[in-house]
Amino acid sequence: MAVKVKNIIPSKQLEGAQTNQYIASVKTMIDKVTVTNTTGDAVTFSCNLVPSGGAVGDANAIIKDKAVATGETYVCPELVGHVLEPGDAISMIASAASSLTIRASGREVT
C-alpha cells in the first residue's frame, strides 16, 4: 500500500453552481479544506460528499449554507478525516460565484 500526499483541489474560485471539485480515482482521505472570502460581503457555501453514481442531496450534505465573513478564512473541520472511495466526489457551491477561494489537501491510498 502506498500513500501519496496530494493537493486534491488546487486553489481556485468557487462556482455559483453546484460543481464537483474533486472526484476520487483511488481511496482518498481529506486532510484540510480552506474557504477564503475575497470580497467585501459575506458569502455562503455548501459542500456535499457524493457517493459514486449518486447525486447531491441532503443525505450527503456535510456543510450547508455556511457564511464566510469578508476577509475570513474558514477551515472546514467537518471534512477532515472523511474518506472518499473511488468515484466519490467533493461537490461545492457558493452563493456568489468567484467570491470564495477554496483549496484542499489529502492523501491518496493505492
Q: Identify the sign of the CA torsion 56, 57, 63, 68.
A: positive
Q: How far apart are CA 23 and CA 50, in angstroms?
A: 9
pTM given for the model = 0.95
Give the angle 5-6-8 at the CA atoms, nearest 5°: 145
Task: Render pLDDT for 69-84 as a digit per residue (tens, 0 to 9).
Answer: 999 999 999 999 999 9
pLDDT for residue 1 is more than 90: no
Q: How far apart are CA 70 and CA 50, in angstroms?
A: 29
Task: Render pLDDT for 32-54 as a digit per residue (tens, 0 to 9).
Answer: 999 999 999 999 999 999 999 99
C-alpha cell at 108: 491518496
C-alpha cell at 51: 457517493
Nearest partner of 92 among 34, 38, 39, judged by Cα: 34
